[in-house]
A and B are shown apart, each in its own frame.
Chain A
Amino acid sequence: MQEIIQLKNINFTYTEEDLRPALKDVSFSINKGEWIAIIGPNGSGKSTLAKTINGLVEAKSGEVIIGGTTLSEETVWEIRRKVGMVFQNPDNQFVGSTVQDDIAFGLENIGVPREEMIERVLASVEAVNMTGFIDKEPARLSGGQKQRVAIAGIIALAPDIIILDEATTMLDPKGRREVIETIQRIKKEQNLTVISITHDIDEAAKANRIFVMEAGELKQIGTPEEIFAVGADIIAMGLDIPFPEKLKYQLKRQGLEVPEEYLTEEGMVDWLWTLYSKM
Chain B
Amino acid sequence: MLDKLLFGRYIQGDSFIHKMDPRAKLIGAFYFIVIIFLANNWETYLAMTLFTFLCVYLSGISLKVFLNGVKPLIWLIAFTVVLQILFTTGGETYFSWGIINITSFGLLNGAFIFMRFVLIIFMSTLLTLTTMPLSLTDAIETLLGPLKKWKMPVHEIALMLSIALRFVPTLMDEATKIMNAQRARGVDFGEGNIIQQMKAVTPILVPLFVSSFNRADELANAMEARGYQGGEGRTKYRQLKWQTRDTISMIGFVVLTALLILLRN
B218 at the interface (CB under 8 A from A): yes
What's the Cα separation between A93 and B162 when bound, in Å? Answer: 14
Interface contact B166-A94, CB-CB below 8 Å: yes
Interface contact A92-B218, CB-CB below 8 Å: yes
Q: Which residue of A lies closest to B214 (CB)?
A: A92
Residue from the list A101, A107, A113, A157 in contact with B134, Cβ < 8 A: A101
A81 at the interface (CB under 8 A from B): yes
Q: Which residue of B lies closest to A163 (CB)?
A: B225
Give the contact-size bracket for chain B.
20 to 34
Kindly identify, within residues 111 to 163 of chain A, every residue whose CB is under 8 Å from any CB belonging to chain B: 111-114, 117-118, 121, 137-139, 150, 153-154, 157
Which of B163, B214, B234, B236 has the most chain A CB atoms closer than 10 A to its own CB? B234
Which chain B positions have C-beta within 8 A of A112?
Answer: 235
Interface contact B134-A109, CB-CB below 8 Å: no
Residue from the list B165, B215, B224, B234 in contact with A80, Cβ < 8 A: B224
Q: What 0/1 readout, one digit per residue, does chain B (205-216) give for beta carbons within 8 Å of chain A?
A: 000000000110
Interface contact A54-B225, CB-CB below 8 Å: yes
What's the Cα separation between A114 and B239 when bound, in Å? Answer: 9
Residue from the list B173, B215, B221, B234 in contact with A109, Cβ < 8 A: B234
Interface contact B166-A85, CB-CB below 8 Å: no
What's the Cα separation between A147 and B225 when bound, in Å? Answer: 15
Interface contact B134-A114, CB-CB below 8 Å: no
Q: What 0/1 readout, one digit per residue, does chain A (223-238) give for beta carbons within 8 Å of chain B?
A: 0000000000000000
Interface contact B235-A87, CB-CB below 8 Å: no
B238 to chain A, nearest CB (A): 7
Kindly identify, within residues 143 to 191 of chain A, every residue whose CB is under 8 Å from any CB belonging to chain B: 150, 153-154, 157
Q: Which residue of B lies closest to A140 (CB)?
A: B169
What's the Cα separation between A249 and B72 when bound, in Å? Answer: 63
What's the Cα separation between A81 and B224 when bound, in Å? Answer: 11
Interface contact A56-B224, CB-CB below 8 Å: yes
Kindly identify, within residues 27 to 48 of chain A, every residue whose CB is under 8 Å from any CB belonging to chain B: none
What's the Cα separation between A54 and B226 when bound, in Å? Answer: 10
Nearest first, the 4 closest Cβ-Cβ pairs linking A and B are A93-B222, A104-B237, A106-B226, A97-B134
Interface of B with A (CB < 8 Å)? 132-134, 162-163, 165-166, 169-170, 173, 214-215, 218-219, 221-229, 233-239
